[in-house]
């Protein structure tokens, strides 16, 4: 992006999280007219459906275009990042599993056609860092800060009856917003596998307080044993205390026909 002459941006929001260089010349393409130039002026706003517009651009490009092949550079960067992720999987402070290990396991076990609903907080940032999607559909609340989104969204995805496996990911704080809905999932035999990172803390809020050089205040949580809670509701529940248990726990929960919780005791710092 830094070395480009022009950015052609399809369907991006230009939010503070998007990471688009606003100093470049930009062609912005979006189906929503109100999104064009909403957060930042662009040189060429295009109101259009992304796939159709991309096809029209492709058809009208010159036959010979002078470009730089960056595939080797991208492959090298992927290699460096994957090595870094493997290195982080070894981190252990004796206070729970690290996020690199948790989402490496989810990468191995999540069905390629799954719908995965993610929540709000450090668990979602870690999902973005470490999970390697194939053809899964990812549902998120679009940085609205709507903690508790994941399991509720997974219930909606199940109700849509797409035939896809349904998974969701949250922290303990997020799941506790709507944990009683697990009984609804049991009642209707919703086949949802929920990966729950339990660190007894609203970790992102703690991080923000430290970042503001404030004392950490009122972010600790008093949690039940979520695996036993799932069992008491009539669903499937298992708790993971060691990384050696993680693969079998995820595989068994995904194979279970009905709602399941995989509670992972995680380190709030190793995100």
Predicted confidence at residue 15, as pLDDT, reads 78
Q: Is the pLDDT of residue 13 over 90?
A: no
pLDDT tens, residue by residue, 85-138? 999 999 999 999 999 999 999 999 999 999 999 999 999 999 999 999 999 999
Q: In the chain, what is the straight-line distance between the N-terminal and C-terminal CA atoms, in Å? A: 27
Number of Cβ within 10 Å of residue 233's Cβ equals 19
Q: Stretch 227-231: mean pLDDT, rounded?
A: 98
Q: Give residue 206's pLDDT band: very low, low, confident or very high (50, 70, 90).
A: confident
Q: Which residues of 237-261 are buried (b: 16+ CB within 10 A; e: fewer)?
A: bbbbeebebbeebbeebbeeeebbb
pLDDT at 17 over 80: no
The pLDDT of residue 12 is above 90: no
pTM: predicted TM-score of the whole model, two decimal places: 0.84
Q: Is 98 in contact with 270 (CB distance < 8 Å)? A: yes
User: What is the pLDDT averaged over residues 227-233?
Assistant: 98
Band (40; pLDDT cuts 50, 70, 90): confident
Q: Is the predicted pLDDT of residue 142 greater than 80, yes or no?
A: no
Q: Domains (ranges, CATH) in the chain? A: 6-60 (no CATH), 94-265 (3.40.50.970)
Give the per-residue pLDDT at 30: 96
Mean pLDDT, the chain, as a whole number?
93
- Are 6 and 25 in contact by the 8 Å Cβ rule? The answer is yes
Q: What is the pLDDT of residue 200?
A: 87
pLDDT of 1 higher than 90: no
SS (H, E, C) the chain: CCCCCEEEEECCCCCCCCCCCCCCEEEEEECCHHHCCCCCCCCEEEECCHHHHHHHHHHHCCCCCCCCCCHHHHHHHHHHHHHHHHHHCCCCCCCCECHHHHHHHHHHHCCCCCEEEECCCHHHHHHHHHCCCCCCEEECCCCCCCCCHHHHHHHHHHHCCCCCCEEEEEEHHHHHHCCCHHHHHHHCCCCEEEEEEECCECHHHHHHHHHCCCCCCCCECCCCCHHHHHHHCCCEEEEECCHHHHHHHHHHHHHCCCCEEEEEEECCCCC
Instruction: Identify the band that residue 202 occupies on the pLDDT scale cut at 50, 70 and 90.
Output: confident
């Amino acid at each position: 992006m830094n070395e480009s002459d022009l950015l052609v941006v399809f369907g991006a929001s230009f939010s503070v999280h998007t990471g688009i260089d606003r100093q470049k010349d930009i062609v912005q393409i979006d189906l929503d007219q109100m999104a064009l130039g909403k957060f930042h002026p662009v040189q060429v706003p295009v109101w259009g459906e992304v796939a159709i517009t991309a096809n029209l651009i492709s058809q009208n490009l010159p036959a010979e275009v002078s470009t730089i092949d960056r595939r080797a550079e991208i492959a090298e960067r992927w290699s460096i990042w994957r090595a870094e992720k493997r290195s982080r999987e070894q981190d252990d402070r004796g206070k729970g599993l690290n996020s690199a290990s948790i989402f490496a396991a989810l990468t191995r076990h999540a069905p390629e056609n799954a719908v995965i609903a993610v929540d709000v907080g450090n668990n979602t940032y870690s999902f973005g860092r470490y999970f390697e999607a194939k053809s899964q559909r990812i549902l998120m609340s679009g940085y609205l800060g709507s903690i508790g989104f994941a399991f509720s969204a997974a219930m909606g995805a199940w109700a849509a009856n797409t035939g896809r496996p349904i998974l969701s990911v949250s922290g303990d704080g997020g799941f506790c917003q709507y944990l009683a809905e697990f009984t609804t999932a049991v009642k209707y035999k919703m086949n949802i596998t929920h990966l729950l990172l339990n660190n007894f803390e609203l970790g992102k809020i703690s991080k923000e307080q430290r970042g503001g050089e404030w004392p950490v205040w009122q972010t600790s949580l008093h949690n039940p044993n979520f695996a036993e809670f799932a069992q008491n509701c009539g669903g499937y529940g298992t708790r993971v205390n060691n990384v050696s248990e993680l693969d079998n726990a995820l595989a068994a929960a995904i194979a279970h026909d009905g709602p399941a919780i995989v509670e992972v005791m995680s380190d709030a710092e190793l995100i």
